[in-house]
Amino acid sequence: MRGGPDQQRPIERDSAIDAIARALQGDLSWTREDRWNADTLAEEAERHGVDLVLWHVLHARADGPVGLTERLAVKVGPEAARAAIRERELTAVSWAFEAHQVPALVVKGAALAYTRYAKPWLRPRLDTDVLVDRSAFDRAAAALEHAGYARSATFSTGDFVSHQVAYERTDDYGVEHTIDLHWRALNPQLLAGVVEFADLWEEAEDVPVGAASIRVPTAFWSLLLACAHRLAHHQRHERLIWLYDLHLLAGVLPESRWNHLVAVARERRIAAICADGLGTAARRLGTPVPAAVLAALTYAGRSEPTRHYVDRDVSRLDVLRDDLRELPWRDRGRLLREHLFPPAAFIRSRYGTESSLLLPLLYAHRLMTGAVKWIRT
């Protein structure tokens, strides 16, 4: 084991990310080079959401760098304890949905935490994403309210501007819990129909969580959703954790399903998006993606309407233009109204006031300042 290089000069951010990515693949040869720094690596691993996964990899190795392993270990106990509290909460939520006869799917990070990671607390997340059919949304909301949750006013909502509503609860220990209740998994209209509730529910799997069970998508549908979500919601903030999700999902996908993935990606117009995600994961993490699959996805995605998510940074105005093109004429005005005039509770929360008299001024201020932000982003 080598502990000395912990005190060497910091390495550049890109080199640190490369070293972390190599470690996640089991390659620790870089630790023999006297140019890495434990604090720099730990900070980058945390920024990329893989600090606990990295600890898990290094902890299992006899030749792991002692200083870095110890630096990462600081979060293990608190995160494991937090995960236990979350698990108890997820159990209660699952029972609430069952009592209200709501077919519900746990998706995204929470689903992967319980199915693809060695321990749930290795996958960081700020909330739990739940997907329901649009017809069951009101029952799902009632179930959450029965479980002690209240609808959050801190997020702008509407039928078109967003396909989710956040529900929040603070438990008896002072721990805050957030359930993002979705009726569609993605917000941009161009990508909202990529995976529908019916697609996921048909093949969903039951996974035990505490004294209950949750229903989660299969690896196939989770992989498609993870590829689309990575660019639809996080385009400007690339993180290793999203690539590691793809890495784990691709690693368990049966060989017989790869051709089906190409066919569905082509049908749903996200072949280029899938090629970008899987190709990046393969380059960064050595993800086992068949070369023929990447070639087929790349070829199929050459002229897709969603390709600009791969080719360049997509601004808010770009998304709005896409949304307007995708929606029928009768819904375009409503989308614009939802953007321009979000619920009054959202405005009050954003500006920290309960006054109704100030609402006209607050809306006007939001329109003026928001226009500048939209132009710049």
- Dihedral Cα 56, 59, 60, 64, nearest 10 deg: 120
**Token couple for 58:** 């290094």
Q: Residue 230, CB half-sphere, CA atoms under 13 Å: how many?
A: 26
Cα–Cα distance list, 150 to 153, 167, 169 (Å): 9, 5, 7
Higher per-residue pLDDT: 321 or 119: 119
Where helices occur in the chain by DSSP H, the ranges are: 13-24, 38-47, 51-59, 66-73, 76-99, 108-115, 137-146, 189-192, 197-203, 219-232, 240-252, 258-267, 271-285, 291-300, 308-311, 316-326, 329-340, 344-351, 359-376
**Which domains are seen in the chain, by residue range?**
4-74 (no CATH), 77-217 (3.30.460.40), 218-316 (no CATH), 317-376 (no CATH)
pTM of the model: 0.89
Query: Which residue in 294, 317, 114, 309 sits closest to 214, CA to CA?
Result: 114
pLDDT at 10: 43
3-state secondary structure of 254: coil
The pLDDT confidence band at residue 116, using thresholds 50, 70 and 90, is very high
358-370 pLDDT tens trace: 777 776 777 777 6
Distances (CA, A) of 146 to 93, 103, 288, 303: 9, 16, 44, 47
The arithmetic mean of pLDDT across residues 253-268, rounded, is 95
Residue 4 clears pLDDT 50, i.e. is over it: no
Could you give the angle at which helices 13-24 and 38-47 cross, rounded to 10 degrees? 80
Residue 83 has phi, psi (to 5 degrees) of -65, -35
Give residue 290's pLDDT band: very low, low, confident or very high (50, 70, 90). very high
Query: Is 80 a residue whose pLDDT tops 80?
Result: yes
- pLDDT, average across residues 178-196: 92
Q: Find how far residue 352's CA is from the centre of its chain.
A: 28
Q: How far apart are CA 147 and CA 127, in angstroms?
A: 16
pLDDT at residue 5 in the model: 41
pLDDT category at 151 given cuts 50, 70, 90 is very high
The arithmetic mean of pLDDT across residues 87-92, rounded, is: 94
Q: Does residue 142 register a pLDDT over 80?
A: yes
- Cα 143 to Cα 103, 135, 196, distances in angstroms: 11, 14, 22
* Percent of the chain's residues with pLDDT above 70: 92
The pLDDT of residue 210 is above 90: no
Q: What is the pLDDT confidence band of residue 322, given thresholds at 50, 70 and 90? A: confident
Task: Return the pLDDT at 11.
Answer: 45
pLDDT at 278 over 90: yes
Predicted pLDDT of residue 372? 60
Q: List the beta bridge partners of residue 212.
A: 209
pLDDT band at 251 (very low <50, low <70, confident <90, very high): very high
Query: Average pLDDT in the 136-154 region?
Result: 93
Q: How confident is the model at residue 327 (pLDDT cuts 50, 70, 90)?
A: confident
The most confident of 146-155, 159-168, 200-209, by mean pLDDT: 200-209
- In this prediction, residues 107-131 reach a mean pLDDT of 96
Residue 374 confidence (pLDDT): 63
User: How high is the pLDDT of residue 370?
Assistant: 67
Looking at residue 49, what is its pLDDT?
A: 96
* pLDDT for the residue numbered 377: 60
Q: pLDDT digit string (tens) for 6-41?
A: 444 444 667 889 999 999 999 988 887 766 788 989
Phi first, then psi, for residue 342 (nearest 5°) are -65, 170
Can you tell me the distance from the alpha carbon of 156 to that of 175, in angstroms, rounded to the nearest whole number? 24
Statement: residue 113 has pLDDT above 80: yes
Predicted confidence (pLDDT) per residue in 172-181, tens digit:
888 999 999 9
Stronger pLDDT, 325 or 5, i.e. the higher one: 325
For position 138, what pLDDT does the model report?
Answer: 95
- 140-149, 236-245, 358-367: least confidently modelled range: 358-367
Q: How confident is the model at residue 375 (pLDDT cuts 50, 70, 90)?
A: low
* Amino acid 121: pLDDT: 96
